[in-house]
Chain A
Amino acid sequence: MGRVEGLVFLASDEARYITGVPLPVDAGAVIK
């Protein structure tokens, strides 16, 4: 669910200037 919503955001015009970004949707797993 969260992953799908992340994709919708990145694919939308609201993210029109977001490119080249690795976006974790991981509940904070990578910062521990």
Chain B
Amino acid sequence: MGRVDGKVAFITGAARGQGRSHAIRLAEEGADIIAVDLCEQIATVEYPMATPEDLAETVKEVEALDRRIVAKQADVRDQAALKAVLDEGVAQLGGVDIVLANAGIAPMGAEDEDRIASWRDVVDVNLTGVWNTVEVAVPRLVEQGRGGAIVLTSSTAGLKGIGGESGGGLGYTASKHGVVGLMRAYATNLAQHNIRVNSVHPTGVNTPMVVNEVMQRFLEQDPSVAGAMANLLPVELVEPVDISNAILWLVSDEARYVTGVTLPVDAGFTTK
């Protein structure tokens, strides 16, 4: 018996990285999946973003577990498009119980940066995109009357003043802090409906958003940032499944009275 048997999870940024890992881990524990990803490049992001082929691979891996998945390309910055995907997923899968606002970009380390454009894009995706994701799901969760669990993906940069001096880095840190505010406000507003809202705060994770030439250049150019990236536990990067396991626990009945919590999965990074 799975820990989220019969539940439906709405996951953004599901084509690869942490989002794909969440889809697979929740499917292993019995959930069906509504998967969203842009699968296109954003101009201020220099590292390669996910592709339609990546999203197809997520579909294949979830279906290999005999779970159902509705996967669509959509932009978290477009609330109407997100609502359309959720509506279709709900119609096919019979509701929604779990919401994972995971989609995000990290446009620090770009060469010849357009500071204003980088700031705008990262705040639009990482903060407004998270807001859009929750906004489209909340009326459904409330109407269904069966509670729910929402996890917003923040970062250690949502708890500490790291991220560097670029427009993209400042926007990243500001947006990830903003996610905490959203989490606390939604947790307060939605508790009466038995809907729990928490955030997770990963350190560096072994995904294409972090393991790429642009991010490596950013880390090398600023030794103070690179030094600040060191974890307490002897591990350089954690794996996507480490975040998935924390989220699985948060959305399961095992955490039925856990809400309003900022949960670091950071190998001790924020304790330093």
Among B184, B248, B259, B268, max chain A CB count under 10 A is at: B259
- Would A19 and B238 count as touching, CB distance under 8 A? no
- Would B271 and A14 count as touching, CB distance under 8 A? no
B residues within 8 A CB of A6?
A: 254-255, 258
- Partner of A24 from the list B191, B242, B261 (CB cut-off 8 Å) is B261
- Would A18 and B258 count as touching, CB distance under 8 A? no
Given A26-B257, A27-B257, A28-B260: A19 and B233 interface contact (C-beta under 8 Å): yes
Tell me if B246 is interfacial: C-beta within 8 Å of chain A: yes
Counting chain A residues whose Cβ lies within 8 A of the other chain, the interface size class is 20 to 34
What is the 8 Å Cβ interface bit string for chain A, positions 14-25, against chain B (1 contact, 0 not)? Answer: 111111110111
- Would B191 and A19 count as touching, CB distance under 8 A? no
- Would A23 and B261 count as touching, CB distance under 8 A? yes
* Residue of chain B at shortest CB distance from A8: B254
- Would B257 and A25 count as touching, CB distance under 8 A? yes
Q: State how many angstroms separate the Cβ of B124 from the closest Cβ of chain A.
A: 27
- Partner of A25 from the list B233, B258, B264 (CB cut-off 8 Å) is B258
- Would B246 and A18 count as touching, CB distance under 8 A? yes
- Would B188 and A17 count as touching, CB distance under 8 A? no
Interface, chain A (partner B; CB < 8 A): 2, 5-6, 8-9, 14-21, 23-28, 30-32
Nearest 4 A-B pairs (CB), nearest first? A20-B271, A31-B260, A14-B245, A5-B254
